[in-house]
Structure 1
């Protein structure tokens, strides 16, 4: 028996490598090496998809810095012989681009903030409060999200004319807050309905009222999901065209998308200026997405409650 004890004590030492890494970790690494071919195939597919999706953006960038003569000589796929910024300058000055960007940022930010707020309040009553007729209310919100915008233009035009909000940013903000808030309510109601009742009961036993439970328990836990919802509301509002075109008539209140369309309708522009307008139109959205990419990743992968 005494001869067998040293062997039993020496086994744990053999389960570790020189770097102090267990054999289990080494086995995991070996398994990962065996899947290298699959991982490389997935990487190649991802790169190809990224190239296909990024090719139009690269084409717009090339033509935005290309002179009209370069475009005539080499076509849209040719490389520019020099950096030509007159197209960007022409568009910048013609539409008062900083003003249009400010209007788009203001409208999109207000819609994102107010839309998330209304979604949270409505979803708290439907998902956690469990009001009577909850299912029918959710169906009504779902139907509101699929109503065509064209069907809303005339009644909204009459209403905004009567209350004096026509040709103001608040007209667009109100419309999109209601539209996006209906979708957010439907989404967050399903999230709140699966909220752990233990946390709610523990907060109630500690003396928290319904308002404190919402803002101190529910909202902090669901913050990643709410951040993703706010990012989506911002991007969706930024890219909207029909409703801002219908309710923002004056140039001082127009958004970036409306300004691009208005300039193309009023003036005869060359291809480089049109490409410059497209580049400047999508650049703020792309920058916003890159800044909040980590927020989107955290929100989409959040599922555990600490």
Structure 2
């Protein structure tokens, strides 16, 4: 199909307009983060002030908050992705009684919002002594991530090559070996996409760390940024620097995994 020059130019205009809409706020935040934090600093001269990041890091205690976020995110990603692979394989590649029921049960976990169960969940966690612990913050997010992860991996395993699986069975491979030595390597884009999505959702989660850590012992980076904003309402430069520090790990991970992420999203769209 041949595209006219007018249509091609219109496409570029629309893409550039959307790019400006998306990149505009990012440019504003970067400008504020590297700008002077006060009028006195502006009078002293200098257009770029990278010291804002160091001051925001120290004053806002982002070092401890980042460590908490990394710890929670690693626990959630490892446990949720591993459990999602196992559950998705069982529901997508095996035939057993009650498979449809369990699949809809997982879908229910996707549809129920966090606000609907956070209060009773807090009292349950407190009764088990898990409040203000990494487990108390991570376990609810593991359960929420497994719900989506099972749905995601089930779609992949249902669309995987049956011929490859049958050939492996004829060679004497069991279900465990087929999963980890054949299907998992083949599904690396889908799995890495799930890793990135789970990490992003866990890193940006606000409500669960706020409720499950009332004393702030396991305060995560987004939660720390909110409290930092309360302390420096007028300090836009420090706030912008703190926002960039909090968002940076997700951006860096996406840069490293973007090729697999895009491939996994395209394959999932085609399969669906």
What's the TM-score bracket when you normalise by the shorter of the two chains?
Answer: 0.7 to 0.9
Aligned mate of 1:226, from 191, 199, 202: 191
1:58 is displaced (CA, Å) by 0.7
SS at match of 1:61: helix
User: Are 1:149 and 2:114 matched, yes or no?
Assistant: yes
TM-score, length of structure 2 as denominator length: 0.87
Is residue 178 of structure 1 aligned with residue 143 of structure 2? yes
Q: Matched residues in 2 for 1:202 and 1:95: separation?
A: 57
Q: Check if 1:196 corresponds to 2:161.
A: yes
- Write out per-residue CA displacement over residues 247-281 of structure 1, whole angstroms, 9 at most, x where no aligned residue: 12444521110111122235554222222222222
The equivalences for 1:80-91 within 5 A come to 82-91=47-56
Tell me what 1:108 maps to: 73
Number of matched residues?
A: 267
User: Which of 86, 103, 106 is equivalent to 1:121?
Assistant: 86
Normalised by the length of structure 1, the TM-score is 0.78
Task: Work out which of the residue numbers 3, 13, 20 in structure 2 matches 1:51.
Answer: 20
Q: What corresponds to 1:169 in structure 2?
A: 134
Kindly report the root-mean-square deviation, in angstroms, between the aligned alpha carbons of the 2 structures.
2.6
Task: Give the gaps of 5 or more residues in structure 2.
Answer: none
C-alpha spacing 1:69/1:103, structure 2 compared with 1 (3 Å):
closer
Q: 1:218-262, CA deviations, whole angstroms, 9 ceiling, x for partnerless residues?
A: 212212111111111111111110101111244452111011112
Seen in structure 2, the aligned counterparts of structure 1 residues 179 and 192 have a Cα distance that, compared at 3 Å, is same
CA distance in 2, matches of 1:107, 1:233: 11
Please say which of residues 186-195 and 237-246 is displaced more in the overlay. 186-195
| 301 and 36 in structure 1: CA distance in 2 versus 1, 3 angstrom threshold | farther
- Say if 2:26 is the partner of 1:61: no
**Do 2:232 and 2:239's aligned partners in 1 also have CA atoms closer than 8 Å?**
no
Q: Deviations over 1:179-237 (max 9, x none)?
A: 01111112221222232322222111111111111111221221211111111111111
How far, CA to CA, are the matches of 1:203 and 1:222 in structure 2? 16
1:251 and 1:91, CA in 2 relative to 1: closer, same or farther beyond 3 A? farther
Any stretches of 5+ residues in structure 1 without a counterpart? 1-30, 74-79
Moved more, 139-148 or 98-107: 98-107
Q: Is the 8 A contact 1:114 1:177 kept in 2?
A: yes
**Is the Cα contact below 8 Å between 2:213 and 2:219 reproduced in 1?**
yes
Higher relative contact order (CA 8 A, sep 6+): 2
- Which of 247, 250, 257 is residue 285 of structure 1 equivalent to? 250
- 1:35 CA displacement: 5.8
136 and 273 in structure 1: CA distance in 2 versus 1, 3 angstrom threshold: same
